Amino acid sequence: MPNYRIDIEYDGTNFVGWQRQENGNSIQALLEDALTKLIAENVTIFGAGRTDSGVHAFQQVATFTTIKDVSTDIIRDGLNQHLRPHPISILCATIVGNDFHARFSAKLRFYEYMIINRRPPLTIEHNRAWCVHKILNFNKMLYESSFFIGKHDLNAFRSSHCQSKTSLKTIKSFNMKQNSENIIISISAQSFLHSQVRIMVGTLVDIGKGLLKKSIEEIIISKDRAQAGQTAPACGLYLKKIEY
């Protein structure tokens, strides 16, 4: 049975997230339905990252196996045809070894968060970024963000819905760049807790506004979600890429 890898780009605004759910359209469900139409076979797709409702992806990776041997061009083009008009695009399809799994073979997951720091509301970037209207102390945010790097118990930065057995996570990189009113936050790790990136970003924004006086180091040590800041909205978060 051939094992296929597909790389996917999507706008998550109107979806309930990656994972199939009963309460609305998910990326996984639409892909599986499109595959059924394309190859007349029920297929289960496994994604590298379970993005939440409203979260976007520049490069989500998924794998699936089929009984039939179908060319990768047909997989790519056929899925794109059946997915229209949904804002989901199959960037490429390849055949990989049977030991390759989109989720379990991943070494690093890269997320990017976009903040636009200005007074006027967003139009072009509406649902694509978080518009923070109060001027942020970027240098303070940048300094505090350095405490995230490394292995920590990040219990203070996970949602109450998180089902992970451990809150120990290793942040490989945490970078922040400011260009005029745009602030881009880039984070990589092998895995993340539920809403971890959004809580990290929300906490930094609260620090940048002067609303939160505790340092990131103190919040990590506390292991208390109540000590951290708000959860940043999903619209600014992007799954950037997966490294294998």
Asked if pLDDT for residue 23 goes beyond 90, the answer is no
Could you say which DSSP state residue 139 is in?
Answer: H
Asked if pLDDT for residue 178 goes beyond 90, the answer is yes
pLDDT value of residue 216: 98
The Cα–Cα gap between 136 and 43 comes to 47
**What mean pLDDT value characterizes the chain?**
96
Strand-pairing partners, residue 63, are 5, 46
Asked if pLDDT for residue 21 goes beyond 90, the answer is no
Kindly state the average pLDDT of the residues 177-194: 97
pLDDT value of residue 163: 85
Instruction: Give per-residue pLDDT as tens, 106-165.
Output: 999 999 999 999 999 999 999 999 999 999 999 999 999 999 999 999 999 999 888 889
pLDDT value of residue 105: 97
pLDDT value of residue 117: 98
Q: Is 52 a catalytic residue?
A: yes
pLDDT value of residue 65: 96
Q: Which of 161-165, 192-196, 227-231 has the lowest mean pLDDT?
A: 161-165
Task: Specify the CATH architecture of the domain 3-96.
Answer: 2-Layer Sandwich (3.30)
List the Cα angle 147/148/151 in 5-degree steps. 110
Give the pLDDT band (50/70/90) at residue 170.
Answer: very high
Instruction: Give per-residue pLDDT as tens, 54-85.
Output: 999 999 999 999 999 999 999 999 999 999 99
Closest CA to 43 of 61, 24, 62: 62
**Catalytic entry in 52, 73, 77, 224:** 52
To the question of domain 108-243 being in CATH 3.30.70.660, the answer is: yes
Instruction: Give per-residue pLDDT as tens, 87-100.
Output: 999 999 999 999 99
Which residues, other chains included, contact 238 with Cβ-Cβ below 8 Å and sequence gap of 6+? 55, 56, 57, 58, 111, 112, 113, 114
Give the pLDDT band (50/70/90) at residue 189.
Answer: very high
Kindly state the average pLDDT of the residues 174-203: 97
pLDDT value of residue 22: 83
CA atoms within 13 A on the CB side of 189: 18
Domain boundaries, the chain: 3-96, 108-243
Strand-pairing partners, residue 176, are 185
Instruction: Give per-residue pLDDT as tens, 32-54.
Output: 999 999 999 999 999 999 999 99
Kindly state the average pLDDT of the residues 23-28: 92
pLDDT value of residue 76: 98
Asked if pLDDT for residue 209 goes beyond 90, the answer is yes
